[in-house]
Structure 1
């Protein structure tokens, strides 16, 4: 098997030498799966759970059972060396994780367990890192491709096209890459109330321009500009009866009374500088991200059904939610050259976020006309800023040829400001400015690795992580700020290769202690954050690869995660022992790929993958709206023929057309508190397509 180099510890090293649980999803695997969003690959990575609210970009990520119960993210997302997405509570980090259309991505690195020492805030569950391709300084390469596809239940075909050009501008000195891709996925959800068909079609676009300048043997500069856009006509949701969990209007059918478009646009710019000195490397990473998110949800079954409380007939309501996040980051670090007895890193990090958060539900008649005196129910704005400064350092001591000892520490301080502005028919005018919070948090990691043989390594790791606190909504009886929640991860693992590198087997066991959990509670009709309760998550993760004969590779992953509350938490109606939401106890995958030489320089390949996800709860067990989301298995396949220039592939996702749900969202009558229905996000039905790619 080929060596896989990752940058998990901010150094390039063999994945089998990293003393932590790391998975790498290669560009070849992304191509074989025809992956267009994170839900296509999540089940192929141990203990990685991807939840969707109905389209790419409406994405929640959890790892090792550490799921976001409050508003903040528990898994950090990076592009190369720069974080993207919000670190604060009001930037939508829990529900709108970065979900790139992965063209021009070299690989995805998934780091499981807290990464607070090297990656800072909101990496308490782990880290997802997109590693972009690097332009060539020596040879030109051009790639073009396209595909057509059919989705079960859709009346229109889907398809996409893509292209990339890379090569030297000045040979050996200056290189570039430019790429563009577009993917259109047809809708497959029909509307039982309006008669509209295929209401959840999605268009994804991604563009990139990258430059690399090798000024001399010691100085390397990389520039990247990345653009991503998601336009979804609606959500891939089905309306379920809250008691029987049966579809109210038929399979893959929703009953929304207002349109539910979703749009997300990301502009990302980065500058990386690497300077090699005789005694150390100096590395600088700067980035700016501008993200705009617009979501409209049908609130007819929450607000519209409550209009009789105002003495008027039930109507419809559309809940508009808009976010605008601007994020600047700067990291600079010194690190020793590899191979010395004492390897070290020391760095400084700073980030500033400016977030705009706008929310407004309307009050409309059944004909869609505004109701005088009631529309809008309210309009609210929650502007905030988040500024963080941190210093960190790590050391690796090579005690012997086989034994290494590792330690690291990070100290972070964040300052936040927050404002509330609101008015409407159901709230008193609000105008509060300058609510503030300030806190300092320390995280650490210690561990060791022992090379039993050149191909077998055992490790132990203890690491901590945190999710930042912040200012709260100004509600009577509610604390003006909430604190960080923290966790500590204890882990042992074994990584091995044997039988002349034809077999790879990795396994680890972990225990996580989670305290002062950030919880979402309700007061005066508005949600706020409080700290309360504790939880634990413990489990086993394993992955194996076998090459029994040339050309055949068998891969398997497995994880068992027991993630539960360890004390009663009244704010979320949870009792000690309740499972945490959206965390399957078990998940896994099986993949087989086989390639063989054909005539005249052509090669044939066939692959099949089975992704498996177990049952999980939509909320803690004893919550009023908790429901069990059934587990599922989905079969993916691909067949291709290729030579040095062309690749023709037939691909299939969810080949058996398994009907399954990715998440549940309960809808509650805001006047009576009764559950009206459950919106269930649907696994994409059977998708079969044909793609052709050429490279020159």
Structure 2
């Protein structure tokens, strides 16, 4: 997206939909991104790329991806009930199966699991953005440069870098309230950076704490505000430039998201009306959630006259602890186990991931008609997965002989080696062709241990194995009729790894990777005076061997490959600056994402809409900045988020339910003198009741739907924040 075209504009762009205001080069004013693993103008990237700047994040007081996702075209982020319980889809590549279809990076470090057994699809990284310089969202498969699980696209968190010459301090605080919440929330934040050795060695240190008050009451237990959220993050980074052209970076990052419960309400099947009224849940047991990520990463970059060399290393530990009330799935089924009545059930879910990655690459320095990149990548992942539903009386006492209903351990390892290359050749100053290829080999080992009353016998199956070889490619051309206009055509492929399957009689011991091919044409342009900018693309994606989940009964799901799908659509972002200080922004996406053939194991028919994908989505926003005094300026901003209706499952599936579309209005205002800034913000000003996702609960013995848990978008939230820079 192409709005902010000067360093000043990039810092001040305040409108929620100014997801275009990226890092700007101080001299040329170009928006600089690292989408193709090299720093370059966004206008030169022949693919769909959007940027959400720190100015945008601060203006709307974003604390999670759902706060800004609607302002990025074809980027759908759904919450399962809190920050950290997050599902992402791009360009209609729906969250089908257990593994993610969108890769996530922090700078040069990939985070999250590559396999199907670590909750990658439901627990995407939701980084508290205080120390984030910008988000880069790459739409369409990025398999050539970014590898496994980037078949839908890529979300990249680009962190702030310190100055090696000047010392700086940032600090701030926030107070806010949420409609129907009885307590005040808020947070504190601080960032210190600067030189340790002038011009040679610098550091950055930051800490942020954010508390979002609860607003869901419990009609069954009487508990108030049970869904409060606490987010904490800390970071320490060292940047070393011993000689010109050589940079060494080391970063340590920690973040923890902790919630008391989920932002969900139960709906009656059929009417889809709240069972107990507005903002009332009925969970019989507590539902705490905790996600922690610890990451250490390092990089060495050498800029030569002709060749640049890059080494990037990372080690990440991620843990997820989730407790869900299973009383309306397992508890209601107790009479079918011979018990006299229904009871309570707590479903405990514990995930752990230790991930090491190493990437080495060499690339041309950009001097001449030929640009190239070659590299090698390695990752090793060790993941754990524990699941167990309990059996309790209504008084919360374990039921002898039944509790736990089952207990399962699903440890796995994933090892991948890959080599890749990319080539861009300028035939003329205006016309360029490009292509890339990546070869990857992965090995997986998966073990399965389970006991429980619903199992005919204990399961002990260690060291089930699988391996795959996968090749992805990309290619295309771009034409620049002027220095500020580009037309491009691109074809690219991506994949999601397969792996070992649950050991169930009659089920294949492995499932294979699914893959897709993306075809797109696009135009990126801005006027020389930066008064108008447009970024638009049309795409068609063929998805085959889709990883589907099907049930073996008793709550056990296994993976199969089946069916094909097709997603096609258009996406656009337009910015108009009719006068100095006034920015008008609009985004639009139309996506038709359907099965291309029957999927009987998932109860899907040809032509069924894929789940969680709105046909239409978009945003409109406006911001106006004006000088108030010689030193102070003020800004007013407004943004309208628009999301069409979606389905919770494939159209023909028995548990498919329609999520209505919605429009939500955000407002913000600020005054600043460059050092001190005071902001007012309001999210969902009209207090619209809308749902981000559905979870259809059914009796595990009969299959009958008991209720639908709906995750709601955050009610009206109003706050004030203060920041100071020194």
| TM-score over 0.5 (shorter chain) | yes
Classify the TM-score, shorter chain: over 0.9
Match of 1:179 in 2: 206
Offset of 1:537 from its aligned partner?
A: 0.1
Match of 1:401 in 2: 429
* Counterparts of residues 527-566 of structure 1 (less than 5 Å): 527-566=557-596
Give the total of aligned pairs: 696
Match of 1:6 in 2: 33
Does structure 2 conserve the Cα–Cα contact (< 8 Å) formed by 1:594 and 1:606? yes
Offset of 1:598 from its aligned partner?
A: 1.1
| Cα distance between partner residues in 2 of 1:453 and 1:485 | 40
**Cα deviation per residue 1:673-696 (whole Å; 9 max; x = unaligned)?**
000000000100000001010011
- The alignment's TM-score, normalised by the length of structure 1, stands at 0.99
Does structure 1 conserve the Cα–Cα contact (< 8 Å) formed by 2:418 and 2:441? yes
Does structure 1 conserve the Cα–Cα contact (< 8 Å) formed by 2:304 and 2:365? no
Offset of 1:218 from its aligned partner?
A: 2.1
* Counterparts of residues 116-265 of structure 1 (less than 5 Å): 116-265=143-292
Offset of 1:348 from its aligned partner?
A: 0.1
| Cα distance between partner residues in 2 of 1:646 and 1:331 | 41
| Cα distance between partner residues in 1 of 2:168 and 2:636 | 26
* Equivalent position to 1:26, from 50, 53, 58: 53
* Equivalent position to 1:639, from 663, 669, 673: 669
* Equivalent position to 2:72, from 10, 32, 45: 45
Match of 2:551 in 1: 522
Offset of 1:532 from its aligned partner?
A: 0.2
CA RMSD in angstroms comes to: 0.7
Does structure 2 conserve the Cα–Cα contact (< 8 Å) formed by 1:475 and 1:524? no
Does structure 1 conserve the Cα–Cα contact (< 8 Å) formed by 2:95 and 2:612? no
> Secondary structure, in 3 states, of the residue corresponding to 1:547?
strand
Match of 1:610 in 2: 640
Match of 2:470 in 1: 441
> Secondary structure, in 3 states, of the residue corresponding to 2:681?
strand
- Residue 580 of structure 1 pairs with residue 610 of structure 2: yes
Does structure 2 conserve the Cα–Cα contact (< 8 Å) formed by 1:23 and 1:109? yes
- Residue 357 of structure 1 pairs with residue 385 of structure 2: yes
Match of 2:678 in 1: 648
* Counterparts of residues 610-689 of structure 1 (less than 5 Å): 610-689=640-719
Match of 1:346 in 2: 374
* Equivalent position to 2:480, from 421, 441, 451: 451
Offset of 1:338 from its aligned partner?
A: 0.7
Offset of 1:68 from its aligned partner?
A: 2.0
Does structure 1 conserve the Cα–Cα contact (< 8 Å) formed by 2:549 and 2:559? yes
> Secondary structure, in 3 states, of the residue corresponding to 1:169?
strand
| Cα distance between partner residues in 1 of 2:302 and 2:659 | 51
Match of 2:21 in 1: none
Match of 2:358 in 1: 330
Match of 1:314 in 2: 342
* Counterparts of residues 382-397 of structure 1 (less than 5 Å): 382-397=410-425
**Cα deviation per residue 1:288-322 (whole Å; 9 max; x = unaligned)?**
11001000000000000000102221001000000
> Secondary structure, in 3 states, of the residue corresponding to 1:175?
strand
Does structure 2 conserve the Cα–Cα contact (< 8 Å) formed by 1:335 and 1:344? yes
| Cα distance between partner residues in 1 of 2:278 and 2:102 | 33
| Cα distance between partner residues in 1 of 2:654 and 2:280 | 25
State the 4+ residue runs in structure 1 displaced beyond 3 angstroms. none
> Secondary structure, in 3 states, of the residue corresponding to 2:466?
strand
Offset of 1:276 from its aligned partner?
A: 2.2
Does structure 2 conserve the Cα–Cα contact (< 8 Å) formed by 1:141 and 1:695? yes
Match of 1:422 in 2: 450
> Secondary structure, in 3 states, of the residue corresponding to 1:571?
helix
Does structure 1 conserve the Cα–Cα contact (< 8 Å) formed by 2:484 and 2:528? no
**Cα deviation per residue 1:545-565 (whole Å; 9 max; x = unaligned)?**
111111111111000000000
Match of 1:491 in 2: 520
| Cα distance between partner residues in 2 of 1:637 and 1:644 | 21
